[in-house]
Every structure is written in structure tokens, then in C-alpha cells.
């Protein structure tokens, strides 16, 4: 593929509120290449999560255009947009959002089942993913029976289940101690080395330092779009 993986032009997101509209994202244009590692930083409330949700097709922009692999996302039906999200994009939410009644293995199985993958293939893929994130020995644990770092790794395994081209993670180390955060950062490095584009919202300098490119957001806009750490400190 020659064009960018993601091509966003003039994205805005306005939330209508009683006290007046909140402009969470203002005129953001951004291209993400296949296999790129991008960090997004910026103060609380500057629009990082909102932008990530739009890029992940979890939310729709108020205006602007978003292309994924050359296809206009806004032109897709709800069903096609869901399929794109299911098959091509992995999303790791800040608070994991694992299904509490399901085990680690079952959580990783869900998106594959939704994608219609056959049972035997799912079983193999789930075992491979749990091994990839170092949690084969925790396959039968429910989320409440996992540590924070383990739950985050299950969330990453789940996000990778259908081999997405883009992995988006919203502060994946925000609630973890430093050593556990390093482990997650190492895992994201490996995901990127395996060819998946990775976009991480993070306040963690250890992750931002690893990314090839860092966006600094302020008040809904991209203030700095630079290489690695330079220009962001």
C-alpha cells in the first residue's frame, strides 16, 4: 500500500452541553503511516481521548474527514464501520473494559467469535495471544483475579485478536507501577516491530521516548508534531 494508513483532515468534535458547546477537538489533520509508532501527549482535557476515539472509529467527528487505508470512514454504513473496527483496528481503553464474567481466554475469544472465526482457529489464536503477552498461566482467571498489569495485557491481547493494522491505546500504563508499565511498553514495542501501527495516548515518558513521533495536544489542537521526544519537553 502506498498511501497512509490513516489520513485525517480537519477533524473537529463538538459536544453540545447545557452550558454551551465543548470543542474537544479542533481542526486536527494528521496522517499515520502503516507500522508507525505515534505517541499523543498533552494536559488533561485537551482532547486526546476524543481524538483517539475518532481515529479508532469508536466515535464520529462533528466535521472533517477520516480515511482508513484510502477508504472514507464517514461514507461507511454503521455495519461497515463496525466491521472495520472489528477487523482492522484494536482499541485498548484506559480502564481495560474486560468482560468481568469471562476468563482471560474468553475475553480474547470474543472479538474472534464476532468476526466469525471458526472455533478451532480461535482456540489456537487465543493460546498464541496469551503466550504473546506472557499470560498462558492466567488463561482461566477472570478480570477481578488478575493484577492491573495482567488485565492490561489481556486487553492488549484482545485488541490484537483479529490482527489489526492499527492498535490504539489510551494511557495503557496510567494506573500501573513503573516496572509493570515498562512491561506494557515492551509489549507495545513488540506489536509495532511485528508491523502494526501503534498510537498511544500517554503521560508516561518511557513510552513517549520509544515512539518515533510525538504529538503534543493543547486545547483540542495539535500544537507540536515532532520526532520522538524532541520538542515535547
Binding residues for ligand ATP, rule: CB under 6 A, are: 15, 17, 22, 24, 42, 44-50
- With CB under 5 A as the rule, give the number of residues binding Mg ion: 1
| Closest distance to ligand ATP from the beta carbon of 205 (Å) | 15
Give the x/- contact pattern for Mg ion in 32-51, rule: CB under 5 A: -----------------x--
Which residue number, 13 or 165, has a Cβ lying nearer to ligand ATP? 13
DSSP annotation of 143: G
Cα distances from 29 to residues 5, 10, 25, 174, in angstroms, run: 14, 5, 11, 26
Q: Residue 93 or residue 165: which is nearer to Mg ion going by CB?
A: 93
Of the chain, the end-to-end C-alpha distance in Å amounts to 34
Rounded distance, CA 24 to CA 187, Å?
Answer: 30
CB of residue 221 to ligand ATP, shortest distance in Å = 12
Closest CA to 15 of 62, 48, 49, 54: 62
Residue with cell 490513516: 6
- Strand-pair category, 37-41 with 197-201: parallel
- Residue 42 C-beta: closest distance to Mg ion, Å: 9
Residue closer to Mg ion (CB basis): 49 or 107: 49
**Cβ-based nearer residue to ligand ATP, 161 or 217:** 217
Q: Which neighbouring-strand residues pair with 123?
A: none
Q: Does 214 bind Mg ion (CB under 5 A)?
A: no
- Residue 4 binds which one of Mg ion, ligand ATP, none, with CB within 5 to 8 A depending on kind? none
Residue whose C-alpha is closest to residue 36's, from 210, 178, 160: 210
DSSP single-letter state for residue 223: E
Q: Which does 133 bind (CB under 5 to 8 A by kind): ligand ATP, Mg ion, none?
A: none
Footprint on this chain of Mg ion (rule: CB under 5 A)? 49
Amino acid at each position: 500500500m502506498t498511501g497512509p494508513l490513516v489520513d485525517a483532515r480537519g477533524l473537529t468534535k463538538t459536544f453540545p452541553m447545557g452550558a454551551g458547546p465543548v470543542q474537544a477537538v479542533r481542526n486536527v489533520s494528521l496522517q499515520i503511516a502503516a507500522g508507525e509508532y505515534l505517541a499523543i501527549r498533552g494536559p488533561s482535557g485537551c482532547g486526546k481521548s476524543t481524538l483517539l476515539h475518532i481515529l479508532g472509529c469508536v466515535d464520529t467527528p462533528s466535521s472533517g474527514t477520516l480515511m482508513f487505508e484510502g477508504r472514507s470512514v464517514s461514507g461507511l454504513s454503521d455495519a461497515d464501520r463496525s466491521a472495520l473496527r472489528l477487523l482492522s483496528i484494536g482499541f485498548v481503553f484506559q480502564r481495560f473494559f474486560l468482560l468481568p464474567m469471562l476468563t482471560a481466554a474468553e475475553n480474547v475469544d470474543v472479538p474472534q467469535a464476532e468476526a466469525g472465526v471458526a472455533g478451532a482457529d480461535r482456540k489456537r489464536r487465543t493460546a498464541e495471544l496469551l503466550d504473546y503477552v506472557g499470560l498462558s498461566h492466567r488463561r482461566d482467571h477472570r478480570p477481578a483475579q488478575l493484577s492491573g498489569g495482567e488485565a492490561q495485557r489481556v486487553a492488549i491481547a484482545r485488541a490484537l485478536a483479529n490482527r489489526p493494522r492499527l492498535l490504539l491505546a489510551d494511557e495503557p500504563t496510567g494506573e500501573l507501577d513503573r516496572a509493570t508499565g515498562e512491561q506494557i511498553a515492551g509489549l507495545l514495542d513488540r506489536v509495532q516491530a511485528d508491523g502494526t501501527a501503534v498510537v498511544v495516548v500517554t503521560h508516561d515518558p518511557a513510552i513517549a521516548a520509544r515512539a518515533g513521533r510525538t504529538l503534543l495536544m493543547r486545547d483540542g489542537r495539535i500544537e507540536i508534531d515532532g520526532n520522538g521526544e524532541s520538542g515535547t519537553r
